[in-house]
Structure 1
Amino acid sequence: MKKNKSILILSFLASALFLSSCSDYLEPENLSSISEAQQFDSTSDTFSALIGVYAQLGGDDGYGQRLSLILTHSGDDFRTSGNYNCNDRRGVATFGACSTNTELNGPFSKLYTGIERANLVIKNIPLSPVMQSGTADDKKLMDRYLGEALTLRAQYYYELIRNWGDVPFYLVPASDVAEQNQPKTDRDVIYDQLITDLEKAATLVPWRSEGGTTSNRISKGFVKGLRARIALARAGWSLRRSPQVMAQGSNPQKYYQIALDECRDIMNRTGDHSLNPSYESVFRALHTNAQDATNEVIFAVGAFGGGVRTDSKIGYYNGLKHHDNSVWKGGGGINALPTYFYEFTKYDLRRDMNVGIFTINATNQAELAASNSWTDSKYRKSWTSITGPSQTLAVDWPLMRLSDVMLMFAEADNEINGAPSQEAKNALLAVRNRAYAGNLGQVGAIPADKVGFFNAIVKERLLELGSEGLRKYDLIRWNLLASKIAETKQKLTDFINGTGAYANVPLNIYYKNSVYDPTKTAQQNIAAIDVYTIGTDKSQVFYLPNQSATTPAGYKSIAWRSGITATYITDPSSGYAQYFVPNKRELLPIYFEYIQNNYNLTQDYGY
């Protein structure tokens, strides 16, 4: 399961230097001035220190599970499976987490550990003797390391802000801070500093093609993409402390312009990153630690080693469900809302990648799944080489893809110009054209007015970026979370009643088991399932009323529309977004121990 990439192997070297032994989220590393100086007296030692910063991306508390899969739900696409408990992952997904929820403890701590490690690198590189008397090439390399550390620190702070809002802000190592117990800093202040830092980092870090960079190492493309993402967050809405309401950031046009410029720079570097003609291939590559053919994945968190600190449970915790007695075993921890499946048309190739409507049974066959247990489907244990009970699969997590950049560009362009330019329309159209490859006549018209185009972007990001940990935060920065939750509850009600857009959705579908071949495409897997129809194309069965009043001989019945009842919306233990409260639950509570340990840190937001 180990990846043959030096950047990941060397993380073991760095962990010995930077391991924290204290439960506090920010603790001085207690390095003497001599040992700290020695750590940065050569390019090789500095690189080891930098790997220690990268190392905080992975593992269970990082993007190997919690930051990618648990803290990111629910939006209007997915929810965590199981019943509500304020102290576990279901509490997070239903917007009802308690401050004692242990899912919140590790990620908060891990992010600040990453910031502390980054601060050590950022402080010491300019002081290094390499920067005073090294060769020009060595100085250039040290500058690159500095740019990467600035970018990682920005990513860690961005993650803290999008989950917890205002947080304590440290730009120097803990050993240089007189008062460890810092109060919260307004997020706009932090965002502005990160935007400045990333502007500098972009001058130091090479493009992918210039630096021999894989998707597991930061390139200029990711620096610029992250700067655009943070600029859009700065321009957008967020839950404020005083008064406790959703409010937009100041001077949004300034930040839309930053996002526009940065995204355009990335899009112009077609030799570095371009859309992969195959949507599925992008995610297949993540399962084998490979670079996708066109480098659409700009940056992915590498997973390796089989341990909770460095590997990932992506594809085991989430993804297509494989029965415990199947060859693979795993998946199913995240459920797709049944209405999400119907946001896609039958011509959209992304539908069967984003929503898993079948499961792998104990004899490794594919069976249709009831609509209350559909899953995300971009991640599948059966797409790895790992079988049996193993939970760590070394599947990488994509932090940024080019299609995301293109849609950010189109969004910023529309906001700046008051309507989309042709360039913005082309960016949206390119994403849609890939989704409808082979059926371009079904793409539809691109709106030319500001409101219509914005709504098209909101919809396209839902379809393109499903289960990639972005949707909830997109809805928050657009100030649409409350309205989309209400809209989704109405859609679920219509789904249950078979009204409106769901008038022709069948109550039940009749099918036979099929051979599951993981080498086939997602669309081929669905097409292989024998579904019962009368005189119509089998692909239409999901969009037609019941094909029979009773179960036909030789077929099995699966609950389709009948798989969802009113309790899916109203049950206190399992209802969708049951505990969401506007102007309160857009953010998570801080784990109680951090409040106890820092007398200047407040809980806020009604927790």
Structure 2
Amino acid sequence: MKKMKYIYRMGVASMATMALLFTSSCEKYLEVENPSNLTQDAVFGSVSYTNSAITGIYNRLMGDDGYGSRLSIIYTQSADDFKTSGSYSALDRRGISEYGVAPQNTELNNPFRQLYEGIERANICIKFIPLSEPYNSGTESEKAQMRKFLGEALALRAWFFHEVIRNWGDVPASFIPSADQPDLYLEKMDRDEIYDQVLADLEQAIALLPWQTESNDPNTRITKGAAKGIRARIALARGGYSLRRDSRKMERRSDYLQYYQIARQECLDVIERGDNGLNSSFEDVFKSLHGQSSLDANREMVFRVGAYGGNARTDSKLGYANGLRQNTSSSWGYANGGVRAIPTYFYEFGIGDTRRDVTLGLFELTAQDDKQVVTAINMTDAKFRKYWTNIHDQSQTLGIDWPLLRYADILLLFAEADNELNGGPSVQAIQALKDVRVRAYAGDEAKIGAIPTSKDEFFKAIVKERLLEFGGEGIRKYDLLRWNLTETTLNETREKLNAFRLGEGMYDNVPNRIYFKLSPFTNSSATEEILNIDFVGGTIDEAFYRSTPGGGSAPAPEGYTAINWRDAVSNGYVYGVNDSGTPDGSGYALHFKAGQSELLPIYSEIVSENYRLTQDYGYLQ
């Protein structure tokens, strides 16, 4: 059924059954009893079946329409780190990336519906778990398990609502199963009301959930620390700026500081608990998402969305649809790499910052397994690499998990909230920022620079650090929105791109072209792979910061290959019009319109299916 009311209409028993059917272990249950015959009493009367129902909620996070593709690498573009590749069209993923999406764009459809399916599955569990026999009169172990399940359902529902709100603003909201909803055609609810409800829900969830070291659950399950981090994220969104329906302006409410207080305390609890810590290797944080979880012994990954099954419904296309590009004939298998770095992002990283070579895909693998350095506009988001998995064929679903919450985020959210509340950073806030920076420079404290102590300068340092730390992780766009810095940052980045194109200002020594020798890929660390490339002009930290003889326009020396660097950035890329006057659709954030583009339109068919639903923010139905 394609009606808007579908998202609330599914019956209790049928939705619980669907939750079972979508688990990886459902075959075991099919051997016992046909799920189509299960009632809610049978599902929630069993700890095992209830666990399957909870897994069914988690299931709605992943897949092509979740964090396996659209919610992770399409909806999150663009900011000053990455953008979607290709030329603009209002009716495909580039329309989202370029802030010019039309309500008829089908990319808007399924993710919206899938998020509400997750909310409905959570609503069912939240209603029936407290009514169940194991929750009320089971053994102490059963009661503890059912309390944990209830906490997970509350936390997951909160995150689903947050994802809907940060993309669409005010939306319909129901906190009961559709079978109990007297009217399925719901109006939009003010986002502040929804946020206040889910923040209260998360407070309840935190009381129900164990710490990870108590439960020994994998970090694909929400534990107390993850719920606290999620509550901090949502609190800062509630206390931040957002585009309002009535004024069509970016506003934040006068009571915003109380939400900063929530965020500060939740993060402080996680920090003081000590269950999580920074991984000493920035690269290993992301390798741990590629089936190498042992590389994250410090548990920096607080919560990740698990991918499995090798299909579009439960697996991810991370590392294929995005990530470092690999030629079809490469021994390591084909990877498309459809997300591209903003050229100036390369120069935001300081010399010696280990995050640069992990975050930015400066090369791609050729058919001969050589490293081909790419042009400035073709760098990819290299925290996702197919060759880090054990799948080296033409597969598109690689089982790579999505990093939804890291301990580095906990530290920086704490530092940000502390600074805002105290009119400047405390010693603990300064240390939190320092810890992230020191890890970035592989423990070399001499390279991190001075950390400012005034409120405004410390906030600017947080803004910069989050750009460097979380590039390609789907965070930057939403940070800029809650800070009301989106329009400003897009304009400043465009100015930087033009200066880069012209070789002016901080880019005056950046070469027009780069000369390098093709070199064999050795599957060593990201930094070593870059260091092993022979560039004319020295190492990467010399060749990319200093014009070569001839201004970078001379023919390549014998044995070297030339690629465009500054020359790759055209007037069309910056402003959308080539030197000849013809339009160029591959430009950067060309269609941003303040008072509209901060939020997405709801897919037109969904609006048509609910007579109480409106298309707002200047979008035409």
TM-score (norm 1): 0.94
1:558 maps to what in 2?
Answer: 563
Instruction: Find the counterpart in structure 1 of residue 284 from structure 2.
Output: 281
Q: 1:181-196 residue pairs with structure 2 within 5 A?
A: 181-196=185-200
RMSD (Å) for aligned C-alpha atoms: 1.4
Contact 2:341 2:381 (8 Å CA) reproduced:
yes
Match of 2:502 among 497, 502, 512: 497
Show the 5 A alignment for 1:80-95: 80-95=84-99
Q: CA deviation at 1:234?
A: 0.7
Matching residue's letter, 2:323: G
Which of these residues, 362, 370, 377, is aligned with residue 357 of structure 1?
362
- Once residues 553 and 28 of structure 1 are traced to their aligned partners in structure 2, the CA distance between those partners, rounded to angstroms, is 69
Answering whether residue 319 of structure 2 is matched by residue 315 of structure 1, we say yes
Which segment drifts farther, 218-227 or 544-553?
544-553
Matches within 5 A, 1:140-159: 140-159=144-163
Deviations 1:439-495 (A, max 9, x none): 421210000000000000000000000000000000000000000000000000000
CA distance in 1, matches of 2:495, 2:533: 31
Show CA shifts across 1:190-213 (max 9, x none): 111111000010011111100011
Structural mapping, 1:173-252, within 5 Å: 173-252=177-256
| Greater mean alpha carbon deviation, residues 429-438 or residues 473-482 | 429-438
CA distance in 1, matches of 2:373, 2:539: 18
Greater shift after overlay, 63-72 or 249-258? 249-258
**Residue 463 to residue 452, structure 1, CA distance change in 2 (3 Å):** same
Shift of 1:367: 1.2
Q: Distance in 1 between matches of 2:129 and 2:540?
A: 62
Q: How does 1:368-407 map to 2 (within 5 A)?
A: 368-407=373-412
Contact 2:5/2:610, CA 8 A, preserved across alignment: no
3-state SS of paired residue (1:314): coil
Structure 2 distance, partners of 1:30, 1:198, is: 25
Matched-pair contact (CA < 8 Å) for 2:9–2:179 = yes
The one-letter code matched in structure 2 to 1:30 is G
CA shift, 1:542, in A, is 0.7
> Identity of paired residues, percent?
50
Structural mapping, 1:413-492, within 5 Å: 413-437=418-442, 439-492=444-497
For residue 390 of structure 1, give the secondary structure of its aligned residue in structure 2.
coil
Q: Is the 8 A contact 1:289 1:396 kept in 2?
A: no
| Distance 1:23-1:177 versus aligned 2 partners, 3 A rule | closer
Q: Does 1:265 align with 2:265?
A: no
- Residue among 11, 19, 24 paired with 1:30: 11
Q: Secondary structure at the match of 1:367?
A: strand
* Distance change (3 Å), C-alpha of 1:309 and 1:22: farther
Task: Tell me the residue number matched to 2:24.
Answer: none
Three-state SS of the structure 1 residue aligned to 2:83 is strand
Q: Is the 8 A contact 1:354 1:467 kept in 2?
A: yes
Partner of 2:352: 347
Residue 112 of structure 1: CA displacement? 0.1
Paired position in structure 2 for 1:580: 592
**Residues 477-486 or 95-104, more deviating:** 95-104
Cα contact 1:58–1:301 (8 A) shared by 2: yes
* 1:160 aligns to 2:164 (yes or no): yes
Distance, in Å, in 2 between the alignment partners of 1:98 and 1:552 is: 48
Query: Relative to structure 1, is the Cα distance of residues 233 and 508 closer, same or farther in structure 2, using a 3 angstrom cutoff?
Result: same
Aligned to 1:4: none
- Provide the secondary structure at the position in 1 that maps to 2:208: coil
Partner of 2:546: 544
CA distance in structure 2 between the partners assigned to 1:496 and 1:279 by the alignment = 31
- Indicate the SS of the match to 1:463: helix
Q: Using the alignment, how far apart are the partners of 2:256 and 2:445 within structure 1?
A: 35
Per-residue CA distance 1:411-462 (angstroms, 9 max, x = gap): 0000000000010000000000001125421210000000000000000000
Once residues 329 and 5 of structure 2 are traced to their aligned partners in structure 1, the CA distance between those partners, rounded to angstroms, is 41
Does 481-490 or 248-257 show the bigger shift?
248-257
> What letter is aligned with 1:574?
S
The alpha-carbon distance between structure 1 residues 27 and 189, as it changes in their structure 2 partners (threshold 3 A), is: closer
CA contact (8 A) 1:131 1:142 kept: yes
User: What secondary structure does 1:400 align onto?
Assistant: strand
CA distance in 2, matches of 1:366, 1:99: 41
Counterparts of 2:146 and 2:443 in 1: how far apart (Å)? 48
Q: Is the 8 A contact 2:4 2:607 kept in 1?
A: no
Q: Which amino acid is the alignment partner of residue 573 of structure 1?
A: G
Query: Is residue 524 of structure 2 the alignment partner of residue 516 of structure 1?
Result: no
Of 542-551 and 457-466, the range deviating more from structure 2 = 542-551
Q: Distance in 2 between matches of 1:466 and 1:543?
A: 21
- Cα distance in 2, alignment partners of residues 532 and 130 from structure 1: 69
- Counterparts in 2 of 1:537 and 1:30: CA distance versus 1, 3 Å: closer
1:577–1:537 distance in 2 versus 1, CA, 3 Å = closer
Query: CA 1:24–1:593 in structure 2 vs 1: closer, same or farther (change >3 Å)?
Result: farther
C-alpha separation in 1, matches of 2:412 and 2:540? 33
Q: Following the alignment from structure 1 to structure 2, what is the Cα–Cα distance between the partners of residues 537 and 359? A: 18
CA distance in 2, matches of 1:176, 1:250: 35
Alpha-carbon distance, 1:538 to partner: 5.2
CA 1:138 to 1:560, structure 2 compared with 1: closer, same or farther past 3 Å? same
More deviation in 199-208 or 26-35?
26-35
Q: Give the partner amino acid of 1:551.
A: A
Partner Cα distance (1:604, 1:118) in 2: 28
Q: What is the match of residue 603 of structure 1?
A: 615
Is 1:40 the equivalent of 2:37? no
Question: 3-state DSSP class of the match of 1:557?
Answer: strand
Q: Which runs of 5+ in 2 are unaligned?
A: 15-37, 577-583
**1:508 deviation in Å?**
0.6
Q: Which residue of 2 aligns with 1:17?
A: none
> 2: distance between equivalents of 1:147 and 1:313?
29
Shift of residue 103 of structure 1?
1.0
More off after superposition, 180-189 vs 569-578: 569-578
Contact 2:98 2:588 in 1 (8 A): yes
Instruction: Tell me the TM-score normalized by structure 2.
Output: 0.92
Cα gap change, 1:350/1:25 in structure 2, threshold over 3 Å: closer, same or farther? farther
User: In structure 1, the residue corresponding to 2:614 is in which secondary structure?
Assistant: coil
Deviation at 1:48, TM superposition (A): 1.4
Q: Is the 8 A contact 2:317 2:396 kept in 1?
A: yes
The Cα offsets for residues 369-403 of structure 1, whole Å up to 9 and x where unpaired, read as 01111111111111111112110000000100000
Paired with 2:376 and 2:49, the residues of 1 have a C-alpha distance of 53
Give the letter aligned to residue 305 of structure 1: G
Cα deviation for residue 131 of structure 1 reads 2.8
Report the Cα distance in structure 2 between the residues aligned to 1:456 and 1:411, rounded to whole angstroms.
10
Amino acid at match of 2:176: V
In structure 1, distance between residues paired with 2:323 and 2:4: 32
Residues 531 and 539 in structure 2, CA contact (< 8 A), matched pair in contact too: no
Q: Which residue identity does 1:276 align to in structure 2?
A: N
Structure-2 residue corresponding to 1:11: none
Q: Residue 251 of structure 1: SS of its match in structure 2?
A: coil
Q: Distance in 2 between matches of 1:21 and 1:248?
A: 35
Q: 1:349 to 1:25 in 2, by over 3 A?
A: farther
User: 1:289, CA displacement in angstroms?
Assistant: 5.4
Contact kept, 8 Å, 2:8 with 2:177, in 1: the verdict is no
